[in-house]
Chains A and B, each alone.
Chain A
């Protein structure tokens, strides 16, 4: 069966520090991968999606970036965090969007 792993679960980082969040999927090949952010009490904001290795589409211009170095690995990064980067970051995968997404357990990031 397919599983998605996301870590860390919780992160507190100072303003201006770098960020690296990792997501891996097991049990499938060539998944579509997504990074979403959810601010407290708000909906999900699509940040990046990838349909293959090295293919990244950005939805929101900001100080975040994403990379997909391997088929089932998706990384979210920042060189310098802002206070506004705080939120709940969710990685998701799907083979076919008609099947819906499966989300990782999320990373709760607090920038202080």
Chain B
């Protein structure tokens, strides 16, 4: 089983839609989590950190469910510019961080 698993998608949604991605992790010792956004042929960029109670940033909300070992990312009022690959990341407290393979999102007009 992979340490961090994501649905690869793609998710195809119209502008204005709400879309949610889930990510599961296998290491219960994982302490901190992140969502990164990666545009085509570009480097990943940190979108949000997710700690014990989750957090919200504008149209984006990230939640952590430790009991079920998953994190989620909710995007409200999707924009064309939200089209990208979203990477889920888990960190166990050492020097390594495990990246999921990513979920592709296409927002269409």
Contact = CB atoms under 8 A, between A and B. Distances in A.
A49 B96 contact: yes
Interface stretch (B58-66, B74-82, B99-107): B99-107
B32 A103 contact: no
Question: Which of under 10, 10 to 19, 20 to 34, or 35 or more describes the interface residues of A?
Answer: 20 to 34
Given A42-B101, A97-B91, A102 B46 contact: yes
Contacts of A108: 41
B95 A51 contact: yes
A46 B96 contact: yes
A90 interface: yes
Interface in B13-68: 31-32, 34, 36, 41-46, 49
Contacts of A57: 95
A88 B102 CA distance: 15
Contacts of B49: 98-100
A59 B98 CA distance: 12
Contacts of B89: 100
B87 A98 contact: no
Nearest to A103: B43
A43 B101 CA distance: 4
B95 A49 contact: yes
A101 interface: yes
A77 interface: no
B32 A98 contact: yes
Given A100-B34, A103-B45, A44 B96 contact: no
Given A43-B99, A97-B97, A103 B91 contact: no
Interface of B: 31-32, 34, 36, 41-46, 49, 87, 89, 91, 93-102
